[in-house]
Structure 1
Amino acid sequence: MKRTKIVATIGLASEDKEILRKLIEAGMNVARLNFSHGTHEWHGNVIKRVRELSKEMGVPVGILADLQGPRIRTLVEAEVEIKTGEKISVSDVAKNKLIEKGFLLDVPNIVDDIEVGNEILVEDGIMKVVVREKNDGELLCSEHP
């Protein structure tokens, strides 16, 4: 019994029925759909195509729905440039503090749950800041080395 599965991520370049057929013929066991991208309609159509081909070809093909967990979005009015050692302000939409250099978080009152020493990843971890001070709904952070 085969235990290893071949998972192929399906996107715009591979959604076509004939390309899906070739993927199945090449050994794809699981079609992965990234639900961070695309619409429900697009995902539904791809799932339908995979199911039809699986039945037609007599090859079981699973569907892997890759669901992203909750994300906290940053709200900025202009590009924020941070120099090493420089502090930036972070607040949230409920506090709606006027921030000269920094950004707001889109989850109301989330700064209440963030403590000094916590790290905040920005842009999917491209930048990491650490909370240095916490004052009345505002976090003062600096870039983490």
Structure 2
Amino acid sequence: MSFKTYSFEDVTASCSHPSVGTASSTGAGMGSISINKANDDTVHDVAADGTVMITKVPGTNGAISLVMQQTSDFHKWLLKWYNYVKTANVSEWATMNITVKSKNLGDTTICTGVSPQKIADRGYEAQGKSVTWPLMAAEITES
């Protein structure tokens, strides 16, 4: 009998911005990574007589959600990036790329034209928390 396994330890996210530099999620308190396309690839229109018209819809943009510990160096890098792009020339706004690789699954997702949807919310309590960075990508490719 063969078994298939998955481990989040085999997943890495790498961010790169031409003016801010690079950061990796490896050993940085990452909790989860979610990548969601913004649009459906297909739309069906059903006429009154039941005829179906199928439309292929272009679009590769979407959203990325990075969840990490609030004390994470990765979170600190994202804050540095966010504060930079908020005040930099608008040409810098969507120049970050994120590559997510899963060695175990053998897949790679590349997100280009990444910009912040908003800064991560902050919470202060007796016990440390996670923060979520909602980001948007102009193009998401998966292999």
TM-score (normalizing by structure 2)? 0.24
**Structure having greater relative contact order (Cα 8 Å, sep ≥ 6):** 2
Q: Which has the higher helix share?
A: 1
| Greater Cα radius of gyration, structure 1 or 2 | 1
